[in-house]
Amino acid sequence: MSKSQVGVIGASGYVGAELIGILLNHSSVEITEISSGQNKGRPFSELYPSFTGQFDQAFVDNDTVIDASDVLFICLPHGKSEELVKQCVDKGKKVIDVGADFRLNDLNVYEEWYGVRSLFPNLHNLSVYGLPEMNREKIKQTTLVANPGCYPTSILLGLYPAVSSQLVDLKTLVIDAKSGVTGAGKGLSEAVHFANKNEGFNAYKVGTHRHTPEIEEKLVEMGAEDVNITFVPHLLPVNRGILSTLYIDLKEETEAETIQDLYEKWYADEPFVTVLKSGQWPNISHVTHSNQCHIGLTVDERTNRLVIVSVIDNMQKGAAGQAVQNFNIMSDITETEGLSMVAPSF
């Protein structure tokens, strides 16, 4: 079987580098060209020395990447992808956009939260939200996938069975989520300087994080009524990982064993979601460098509140790993291809 000709736009960032590492071990992929706005002409391995001798390819311009590839991964900040996606679609290319430009259906909400106006509104009608556990059949049929945000991935997977089964009152939902510093991207800021972050732990963008409307919109698609969530993200002094703790009232008294059984059956056939046994709780170190999501849950009987803990690696299931999972589905390749790594927790 011939290999897919794959290009990566924005390959110099953390997500781009993670993606290159996965694709190099993917049996159905040939990496054609890679681009970086600030590093044209430099070898990839000069930025990431661990790739020396394994991937020394130089960065080129975006047009060269597009023309050389049948499938494009675009790893750019919000507001930077839309024109490139238009160019790709017009040339008959498949695209996985790892940024935020196509995640929201409501473009007015997107403009409000991101401060960017869509240049090609009709293009958004082609895109499918790339959470495979929710939209697998739609992903199979599309040529444009909007890769989910990292926080929303952990949160939506944690809530999906309970919300779709109408077990919970979304008005009571409180999301307490923590991320490693790679979630902030490669750019330097005071918040992620070693002296400030080492041995520090803080909340940030309380009530204003841009993943908020994405979470709300997808919860509605899962069967919820209009919802306004309380979402408080935190920054952990670790490189990788997201741990989301979700607190939500049950509509009726329901035993923990019943909900445990629901979750286990719901995700029984999902290759990258594991519902832990009752009494076990996820740890970000157990999913680091993997495309796995681990979920633990219980019912606080005193308050009739469901408590869910969901963990992922923000660089893998939260970004590059999920992008490759979407590529596999779009390309009718075994969904786990290139993603079967299991890392020790030390």
Active-site option among 75, 88, 150, 293 = 150
Q: Which residues contact 306 (CB under 8 A, 6 or more apart)?
A: 162, 167, 168, 246, 247, 248, 249, 250, 254, 259, 297, 298, 299, 300
Tokens, residue 21: 């590492």
Q: How far apart are CA 242 and CA 151, in angstroms?
A: 7
Q: How far apart are CA 83 and CA 120, in angstroms?
A: 8
pLDDT, position 199: 78
- Could you count the other beta carbons within 10 Å of the beta carbon of residue 265? 11
Q: How far apart are CA 143 and CA 141, in angstroms?
A: 7
Element (H, E) at 22: helix 14-23
Could you tell me the domains of the chain? 4-148+317-330 (3.40.50.720), 151-314 (3.30.360.10)
Give the predicted TM-score (pTM) of the model: 0.95
Query: Both ends of the chain: CA-CA distance in Å?
Result: 38
Q: How far apart are CA 49 and CA 46, in angstroms?
A: 6
Strand-strand pairing, 71-74 and 242-250: unpaired
Q: What is the pLDDT of residues 274-318, one digit of tens each?
A: 999 999 999 999 999 999 999 999 999 999 999 999 999 999 999
Residue 186 has pLDDT above 70, yes or no: no
Q: Find the length of the chain.
A: 346
Q: What is the pLDDT of residues 104-116, one digit of tens each?
A: 999 999 999 999 9
Q: Is 150 labeled as catalytic in the residue annotation?
A: yes
Element (H, E) at 297: strand 293-300
Share of the chain above pLDDT 90, in %: 87
